[in-house]
Amino acid sequence: MNTVLITCYECNESSKTDQRYVGHVIKKFYNKPHGIYPVYLKSKYNYASKSVENDIAKIVKRVRSWDLASKIVIIYFIDTDSRMNNQSRENEVHNTLIKDYCENNKYELVTFVRNIEQVLLAPFNKDKVQASKNYREQDLNKVPISNLSVIEPREKGQSNILRILDRYLIRN
């Protein structure tokens, strides 16, 4: 059975920063997937907004109009953000709400501690869009694979991205 992924990113459609980074991970580690359809949250705090839910529903309906057999999986890609600032308690609450939302809706949740750029060792650049455009698949060679396969990412530079994608995609 083929799997279609609906991938939900914190970024907006014009920047596509997180989508670019995730695309490099998929290209490096996996065979080409059957289909990937992005949804842009514009902020992690919009995870459950009506517009995001409508975007997901439209993609599901479109895929089902031509493909009744494929499994559709919805994956949220979320930065945990800094735990060292004044908003850390509020941030922890939001991260828990996002986790609960994904569990309640049977969505997968990929987290990046503190953010995707730190996990993938992207060069720090105030222009995040340009940094994501300059990042290359070979840059992933610097990233310890063990940091991408953590069961419960809690430490800076950790993620569960490979652990989640391994459930639905075939490794190269």
Residue 155 resides in a domain? yes
Using 50, 70 and 90 to split pLDDT, how confident is the model at 83?
low
Q: What is the pLDDT of residue 86?
A: 59
Residue 128 resides in a domain? yes
Let me know: does 58 contact 52? Beta carbons within 8 Å. no
The domain tally of the chain equals 1
Three-state secondary structure readout of 98-127? HHHHHHHCCCEEEEECCCHHHHCCCCCCCC
Question: Do strands 108-112 and 71-79 pair parallel, antiparallel, or not at all (unpaired)?
Answer: parallel
Q: For 16, left (φ over 0), alpha (ψ -120 to 50), or beta?
A: left
List, for residues 90-125, the tens digit of each pLDDT value: 888 999 999 999 999 999 999 999 999 999 988 777
Using 50, 70 and 90 to split pLDDT, how confident is the model at 84?
low
pTM to 2 decimals?
0.94
List, for residues 152-171, the tens digit of each pLDDT value: 999 999 999 999 999 999 99
Joined together, the tokens standing for residue 97 give 């709400």
Residue 171 resides in a domain? no
Residue 170 resides in a domain? no
Residue 172 resides in a domain? no
Q: Tokens 């993609």, residue?
A: 59
Decide if pLDDT at 87 tops 90. no
Q: For 157, left (φ over 0), alpha (ψ -120 to 50), or beta?
A: left
Q: Tokens 């998929």, residue?
A: 26
Of 66-70, 80-84, 146-150, the least confident: 80-84
User: What percentage of the chain carries pLDDT values higher than 90?
Assistant: 82
Residue 107 resides in a domain? yes
The span from the CA of 154 to the CA of 145, in Å, is 16
Q: Is 170 helix (H, G, I), strand (E, B) or coil?
A: coil
Q: What is the pLDDT of residue 90?
A: 83
Residue 155: how many other CB atoms lie within 10 Å: 9
Residue 132 resides in a domain? yes
Give the domain extent around 45: 3-165
Phi, psi (rounded to 5 degrees) for 71: -80, 135
Using 50, 70 and 90 to split pLDDT, how confident is the model at 77?
very high
User: What percentage of the chain carries pLDDT values higher than 70?
Assistant: 97
Residue 81 resides in a domain? yes
